Amino acid sequence: MAHTRSGTPSRSGWSAALPGTRTGARVGGRVSAAVARRLAGGVPVTTAGRRARRPAASDRTVREVLELAVRCGEAMLSLGAAAADVVEAIRTTCAAWGVEVQVDVTFTAILVAADGDDDAPGTSVLRVVQVRASDYDRLGRVAAVVEDVAARRPAGRPDDRPDDRPDDRPSDRPGDRSDPGAHERVLAELEAAHARLDAVLTEPQRYRPALVTASLAAMAAGVALLLGGGPLVVVLAAATTGAVDVVLRWLGRWGLPAFFLQVAGAAVVTTVAVLLLEVVPGLPVELTALPPSLVVGSGIVVLLAGMSMVGAADDAINGYPVTASGRLLEVLLLTLGLVVGIGGVLDLARRAGTQLDLFDTGAAAWSLPVQVLGAALASAGWACSCFAGPRTAAVAAAAGGGAWLVHAALTGAGLPTAVAGAVGALLVGAAAERTRRLTGVPVTVMTSCGIVPLLPGLAIYEGMLDLVTGSETGGRLMEAAVVGVGLAAGATLGRTLAARAGALRRRHPAPPQQTPRHASEGRREGRALGL
């Protein structure tokens, strides 16, 4: 026992000698540990610095897996897919053979790397995307190749269902060095997948150029219906857009960049509008029955549809800033081409003495069913101009008609055009994500086609006319920009919300409902509950 100088026991000595002190310390420690567990967070969300798993595969096998994955990614990126879809396709392809990779996608290049081990160095494959041309039919076929590879069905037989596959299908890891037979089987599967991808990328395009021109003309006719144009406007808008496509195809053979093609296309449709102002007063047709601004607006929507504004927003929101910056710069450059083409022709017409009074169109809006039909025609026409098949075109028509129906309902309720367009695009993005497995249509295809009727072609033309005539200082152009950003953000948000909801549903499935084995059991349970 501890003592003080006066010989009396100290307070600390008495407390240490008490029998319940040690028990109290243990209880306090348990309470503090329980509180710490309650306050502690979960597993870190970020995977930065995580140690990579070495593939149990030979050098040649890993190289072949990476080559197949990068080829699929390059094809999808060049055909119009978003960066997130490209990264997912690459990782899915590599994961089918158990290879973990790091993927870096930019606007023009794809880099995929797999870590090595002591016996073999790491492997990386780089591909540069040199050509960009929207081809929705080929994009869907490449996506189907990736899905079959993920299920280890590289041959892609239509009757190769999961229930029909033999039980002894090889489930080995990619080319295990200890199993030469497994190595050869994996190489055979990879070669079959390469052959199928070769067949997809080298087959002829679905439609001839004349059919593509007709599809664009039908698209312009649908947009003219949306803008309230009469039969003459619909026919003239279709004819003008067909002429623009022929001119751009002819100029494209010279290898002109896309910027100058946009300038030329916008100049052609604006020239038609100026000619109408000069010719129509001498014809037995009122200018209000053939408003030039509607013809130009229809053509501008066709030129706007080829831009990747939705893809840029999708890449930016999903964490691919470099790719998003490249896409956004391309969109701004192509839009600037439209502005230069429209503004140049209008300025020349003003200097020549043409009266640029194009706003009093007098066009009466069609009934809502006709507008929905026009929206569906515009979306289906754009899908077919990008070589989409009949099923994809039908899905695109449904998406475009539904988006315009929502847009019309919201604008009729008093909401601004930008808000109504954003909500319509959000529903299109959500529907595209939810139905992609059922319809087989990639999400990017459905969203790009579904928002075509909502593009602000007429607002861009009217804004440029304001600038040329000095009526305003760019308010309409700003409105058009807000509408475009709202469409892109809405489509991306709808897709993201639908994807997250689907992931939560798969993670927490609903418990199966137990039905009574006999009707009498159900009656007994009801009586027990007082029903």
Phi then psi for residue 105, to 5 deg, are -120, 125
SS3 173: coil
CA 115, 120, 123: angle at the middle one, nearest 5? Answer: 45
Coarse DSSP helix, strand, coil percentages of the chain, rounded to the nearest 5 percent: 65, 5, 30
Indicate whether 37 pLDDT > 50: yes
pTM for this prediction: 0.73
SS3 129: coil
Q: Which of 299-313, 384-398, 406-420 has the lowest mean pLDDT?
A: 299-313
pLDDT value for 506: 65
Most confident of 58-62, 421-425, 439-443, 472-476: 421-425
Q: What is the mean pLDDT of the chain?
A: 76
pLDDT value for 154: 59
- Which residues face 109 on adjacent strands? 128
SS (H, E, C) 69-117: HHHHHHHHHHCCCCHHHHHHHHHHHHHCCCCCCEEEECCCEEEEEECCC
Please give the Cα distance from 528 to 526 (Å, whole number).
Answer: 5
Average pLDDT over residues 213-218: 91
- Where do the domains of the chain lie? 59-160+170-202, 209-506
Indicate whether 79 pLDDT > 80: yes
Q: Which of 54-63, 222-231, 442-451 has the lowest mean pLDDT?
A: 54-63
Give residue-wise pLDDT tens across range 111-162.
988 876 656 677 888 888 887 788 888 888 888 888 888 886 655 444 443 3
Give residue-wise pLDDT tens across range 315-336.
777 777 888 888 888 888 888 8
Alpha-carbon dihedral sign for residues 64, 69, 70, 71: positive
Residue pair 105/86 in contact by the 8 Å Cβ criterion = yes
Residues 6+ apart with CB under 8 A from 476: 459, 460, 462, 463, 466
